[in-house]
Amino acid sequence: MNDSEMIRRDLKPALVFLSGELIAVPIPLEREDVILGRALEADVRVNDTQVSRQHAKVTAVKGETKSSTEYVLTDLASRNGTFLNGVRVRRETLQNGDKITIGETILRFDLLDEIDREYQRQIHRLISHDDLTGLLSSRSFFSELRREAGRATAENRPFCVIMMDGDNFKSVNDSYGHLTGSKTIEEIGFSIMTNLRSGDAAARFGGDEFAAFLLDADLPQGLTAAERIRSSIEKYEFSVLRQGKNRETHHITVSIGVSSFPDDSSDPIELVEMADSALYRAKREGRNRVAAYRDMTPEELNRHLPPRRD
């Protein structure tokens, strides 16, 4: 490819994950030095225990023209080494399509135009999101949750995990059919998303089970958000899909469990298990309700309750 073709296509360098939690994600190389590693402050953070905190870096070495810029991979004295196309290296110039391995994670160095970049983003979305609701898949949710737990630990910030499950959902399929059941799951997902803030994340775990985490939220705030979701779904008129019929609707409720970081646990997997335990307590206590993993202190309860009107 000659220089004029490269300029016309506006090729930009990127690292594309070929494995791991961020598979198919293109990471643009926009800085002169881009650090790859496990540390929170790494430019390309790799959640892999075999990767050093600062494992390797990619450096842009500019030539006389824009198209003559080279990109150099350098190992930063990592514990397990940096491999380029299967060979351990200390410092090598990257070529389009080269594969970089650090720990168990593989990335490809690519020169991408805007069409390529959008294609990679769409591939990642298909992999990382539930195709029915558009919410995160469970695998992607845990990836985001681990990342948020790391940030919250470093910055001493709280967050909450909530688990949600439809009440007697089998009766929807039995009464209205599986098409209506699928539409109901889609609409539950929509209702959850419309009641979350920007930055919060929600996922479908499978069937009619959903999860979310709420940024910068302590337990009272988490319970308030969970109650908002529960109430919204209780009032929602869900679609009934029947051929040749006038528009029909039905109603369904959800039970919700809430756990909080770091008061309940600092381990993200344990937080999900705790929220799930609270969810099933809500089921046992009558369904269509919100339950916390632990009881709130009087101070927390006062903050959670609305002010009295005398």
Report, as residue numbers or ranges, the catalytic residues.
Answer: 208
Count of beta carbons in the 10 Å neighbourhood of residue 90: 12
Query: CA 301 to CA 286: how far, in whole Å?
Result: 22
Name residues whose C-beta falls within 8 Å of residue 16's C-beta, 6 or more positions apart in sequence.
24, 25, 26, 27, 107, 108, 110, 112, 120
Antiparallel, parallel or unpaired: β 105-112 and 99-102: antiparallel
Which 8-state DSSP code applies to residue 137? Answer: P
Instruction: Considering only the C-alpha atoms of the chain, give the largest distance between any 2 of them, rounded to a whole number of Å.
Output: 79
Q: Residue 188: CA atoms inside 13 Å, Cβ hemisphere, count? A: 32
5 φ/ψ angles, rounded to the nearest 5 degrees: -70, -40
Q: Edge-to-edge strand order for the sheet containing 87-89?
A: 26-28, 12-17, 105-112, 99-102, 82-84, 87-89
Query: Of the candidates 223, 224, 8, 21, which has an alpha carbon nearest to the alpha carbon of residue 103?
Result: 21
Amino acid at 203: A
Rounded Cα gap, residues 142 and 205, in angstroms: 10
CA distances from 137 to 47, 104, 196, 204 (A): 18, 22, 17, 6
